[in-house]
């Protein structure tokens, strides 16, 4: 018979349709708790659960023990956001145990969650993005692929995982849209603007030549590495860093998620409504989209100079 944690992981993957990555993070958080309770180094799942009786595992799930684990995590320098992820994982696990009558109540309900400092999403300036997009297209496959990945991230607002999982069949050129599967296996359609559509046509032609050179014809991944394999998560990270490195208008941190932030911010600045942005980005609730309701300083300044009575000419 499977251990409670294994049954829980199966439950969130099958019933709740959590992604493999989320399931892995939840398992890791629960194992870290058991490692702490046994005085072991974290991320040692085998030592945490191997030969560890089920009754003893369940008996350790108390409010006092979980508070101690959280305090130690903060003491070790873990961020409030990461600690809250561990709390959420433990809470979900305990809820599962309560529903299956293995625990009388959820001990995490009485645990205080550390406050996360609210940060405005980072985003790129529209002029910087425009200069990048209008630069001459490269001739070789690798550089053209990288340009297309960055352009697609910005023009569609796709997540890193979504763009790395794209298949040729996900692109409907006739209707100018992508069909992607996001968090929770939720499928959505994303419009493709003409600028991106033109670039995709150039890229796909180059991709065909690239596959022919490597004597391959059945690879379905939309974006390929220089060895004709599907791209992966860190590959997308590295593409964004490479494309923006050395450019003064893209200084600081460069990530795929900042392109996603830029997509939403620029749409809002141009008058798009929140509900439309929510649907395109694949958010389950409007609250997740409202984080983008900030304005860039230049946009705020423009509104101020237009609207404030004392800022108008002759005011």
State pLDDT tens for residues 158-213: 999 999 999 999 999 999 999 998 887 788 999 999 999 999 999 999 999 999 99
Q: Which is catalytic among the residues 27, 159, 160, 207? A: 159
The arithmetic mean of pLDDT across residues 15-33, rounded, is 89
Reported as a pLDDT band with limits 50, 70 and 90, residue 119 is low
Of 86-90, 145-149, 296-300, the one with minimum mean pLDDT is 296-300
Of 57-66, 173-182, 243-252, 293-302, the one with minimum mean pLDDT is 293-302
- Fold exhibited by the domain 4-110: DNA polymerase; domain 1 (1.10.150)
pTM: 0.68
Element (H, E) at 22: helix 20-37
Higher-pLDDT residue of 297, 249: 249
The arithmetic mean of pLDDT across residues 67-94, rounded, is 93
- 112 catalytic, yes or no? no
- 260 catalytic, yes or no? yes
- 247 catalytic, yes or no? no
pLDDT of 127 higher than 60: yes
CATH of domain 126-303: 1.10.443.10
Domain boundaries of the chain, sorted by first residue: 4-110, 126-303
22-29 long-range Cβ contacts below 8 angstroms, 24+ apart: 25/85, 25/89, 26/89, 26/92, 26/93, 29/85, 29/86, 29/89, 29/90
Residue environment code for 279-304, b if the CB has 16+ CB neighbours within 10 A, otherwise e: ebbbbeeeeebeebebebeebeeeee
In which order are the strands placed within the sheet that holds 187-191?
171-172, 177-181, 187-191
pLDDT of 88 higher than 90: yes
pLDDT of 1 higher than 60: no
Beta strands 171-172 and 187-191 are unpaired
The arithmetic mean of pLDDT across residues 258-279, rounded, is 88
Q: Distance between CA atoms of 300 and 268, rounded to whole angstroms? A: 12
Q: Which is catalytic among the residues 183, 188, 242, 294? A: 183
Q: Which is catalytic among the residues 86, 260, 266, 278? A: 260
Q: Which is catalytic among the residues 147, 207, 266, 283? A: 283
> What percent of the chain is predicted at pLDDT more than 70?
89
Q: Distance between CA atoms of 196 and 191, rounded to whole angstroms? A: 10
- 27 catalytic, yes or no? no
Q: What distances in angstroms separate CA 79 from CA 110, 115, 146, 197, one per listed residue?
A: 20, 10, 32, 41
- 292 catalytic, yes or no? yes
Give the angle 119-302-299 at the CA atoms, nearest 5°: 30
Q: Which is catalytic among the residues 11, 188, 257, 294? A: 257
Of 104-108, 234-238, 266-270, the one with minimum mean pLDDT is 266-270
The arithmetic mean of pLDDT across residues 249-269, rounded, is 87
**262 CB-contact burial (10 Å; exposed 0-12 / middle 13-18 / buried 19+):** buried
Reported as a pLDDT band with limits 50, 70 and 90, residue 51 is low
- 159 catalytic, yes or no? yes
Chain segment 212-234, per-residue pLDDT in tens? 998 887 789 999 999 999 999 99
Give 230's DSSP letter.
B
Residue environment code for 109-135, b if the CB has 16+ CB neighbours within 10 A, otherwise e: eebeebeeeeeeeebbbbebbeebeee
Q: What distances in angstroms separate CA 127 from CA 13, 37, 123, 133, 249, one per listed residue?
A: 42, 53, 12, 10, 9
Q: What distances in angstroms separate CA 104 from CA 88, 107, 175, one per listed residue?
A: 18, 9, 54
Which residue(s) pair with 196 in the sheet? none
Q: Reduced to 3 states, what is the DSSP secondary structure of residue 221?
A: strand
Q: Reduced to 3 states, what is the DSSP secondary structure of residue 139?
A: coil
Q: Distance between CA atoms of 133 and 129, rounded to whole angstroms? A: 6
Half-sphere exposure of 241 (CA within 13 A, CB side): 6
């Amino acid at each position: 018979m499977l251990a409670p944690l294994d049954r829980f992981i199966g439950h969130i993957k099958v019933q709740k349709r959590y992604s493999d990555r989320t399931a892995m993070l939840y398992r890791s958080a629960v194992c870290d708790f058991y490692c702490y309770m046994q005085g072991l180094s974290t991320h040692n799942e085998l030592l945490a659960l191997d030969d560890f009786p089920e009754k003893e595992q369940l008996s350790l799930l108390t409010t006092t023990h979980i508070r101690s684990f959280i305090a130690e995590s903060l003491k070790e320098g873990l961020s409030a956001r990461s600690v809250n992820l561990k709390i959420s994982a433990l809470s979900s696990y305990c809820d599962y145990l309560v529903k299956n009558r293995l625990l009388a109540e959820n001990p995490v309900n009485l645990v205080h969650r550390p406050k996360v400092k609210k940060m405005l999403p980072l985003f790129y300036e529209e002029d910087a993005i425009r200069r990048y997009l209008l630069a001459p297209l490269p001739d070789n496959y690798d550089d053209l692929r990288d340009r297309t990945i960055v352009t697609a991230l910005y023009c569609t607002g796709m997540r890193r995982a979504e763009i790395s999982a794209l298949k040729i069949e996900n692109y409907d050129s006739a209707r100018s849209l992508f069909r992607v599967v996001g968090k929770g296996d939720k499928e959505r359609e994303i419009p493709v603007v003409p600028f991106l559509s033109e670039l995709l046509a150039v890229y796909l032609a180059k991709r065909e030549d690239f596959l022919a050179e490597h004597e391959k014809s059945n690879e379905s991944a939309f974006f390929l590495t220089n060895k004709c394999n599907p791209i992966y998560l860190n590959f997308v990270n590295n593409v964004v860093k490479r494309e923006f490195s050395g450019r003064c208008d893209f200084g600081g941190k460069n990530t795929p998620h900042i392109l996603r932030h830029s997509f939403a911010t620029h749409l809002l600045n141009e008058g798009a409504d929140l509900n439309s942005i929510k649907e395109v980005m694949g958010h389950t609730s409007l609250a997740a989209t409202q984080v983008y309701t900030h304005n860039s300083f230049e946009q705020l300044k423009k509104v101020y100079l237009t609207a404030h009575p004392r800022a108008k000419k002759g005011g």
